[in-house]
Amino acid sequence: MGPKSLIQVKDSAKARYTSRSYISKPIDRPVKFLNENEALKFVSALGRVSGRNNTHVKHRNILVGQLMLQTGLRVSEVCNFPLRDLPEVESNFRFTPARCAYGKGNKSRMILIPNELLLRLWEYVDIDRERITEKFSGIAEEIVSPTLFISEKGTPLSKNWVEKLFRKASKYTGISAHPHTLRHTFGTYHYLYNRDLITLSKLMGHSDSETTKSFYVGLAGKIEYVSTYQDWNQKIDRYIETVYD
């Protein structure tokens, strides 16, 4: 019989220590966020778990996830975002400012939409959303919601429906995430790449920058530490594997 695997050794050792009342205490976890690869995989899955047979629904679902991930919008803000507030692309910049008037406490704030994403949103409006609107043209146009994202019946997407969509994507990918996870992911990476706490605080809609700091500064530091330290650990792992071989 060959040597035990590392997992077997770990499990047997843990069982012995647990039986002797050496029970480990859970560590307080930080705010939930996804690393870049997880976030991309998860947003892509939003189109796979609902809309497999309808490319229009697939594209819309992915855009819902993208908008959260790339602007930090809350799920309620995405569901209630009015089409009238979707700005035209400012081609002189990489981001276009947009008004978010349905935030927490109904406080209006500015968000920045990447131009590439904004172009996709307008493509959705001009093609997919317009296709739904035309079904009710001259019959019951008032049925169609004035929100940016609408269902095939012209109604706004509900917070509950989006949360169910995220649960399906979590099960499909094995990545545990809810809508607020994408907001936290945006905040974490925004600070990591820009180191601008004041601007991030305004984009997130926080009344106090200390709130923003408590959420994202520490997380950004851990990501940076991991990314620069990962190669070192991988080199050690590869070397040790050759020793065991």
User: In the chain, what are the domains?
Assistant: 36-179 (1.10.443.10)
- Where residue 28 falls among pLDDT bands split at 50, 70, 90? very low
State how far Cα 135 lies from the chain centre. Answer: 32
- Work out the mean pLDDT of the chain and round it to a whole number: 81
Whether pLDDT at 202 is above 70: yes
Give the separation between CA 39 and CA 59, rounded to whole angstroms: 17
Give the separation between CA 46 and CA 64, rounded to whole angstroms: 9
pLDDT digit string, tens, across residues 213-232: 877 776 666 666 555 445 64
Q: What is the DSSP letter of 21?
A: T
Give the separation between CA 71 and CA 187, rounded to whole angstroms: 9
For 208, residues 6+ apart whose C-beta sits below 8 A from its C-beta are: 201
pTM for this model (two decimals):
0.76
Q: Which residues of 214-241 are buried (b: 16+ CB within 10 A; e: fewer)?
A: ebbbebbeebeeeeeeeeeeeeeeeeee
State residue 133's pLDDT score: 92
Q: Are 178 and 163 in contact (CB under 8 A)?
A: yes
- Where residue 174 falls among pLDDT bands split at 50, 70, 90? very high
Highest-pLDDT range among 25-34, 86-95, 140-149: 86-95
pLDDT digit string, tens, across residues 31-43: 588 888 899 999 9
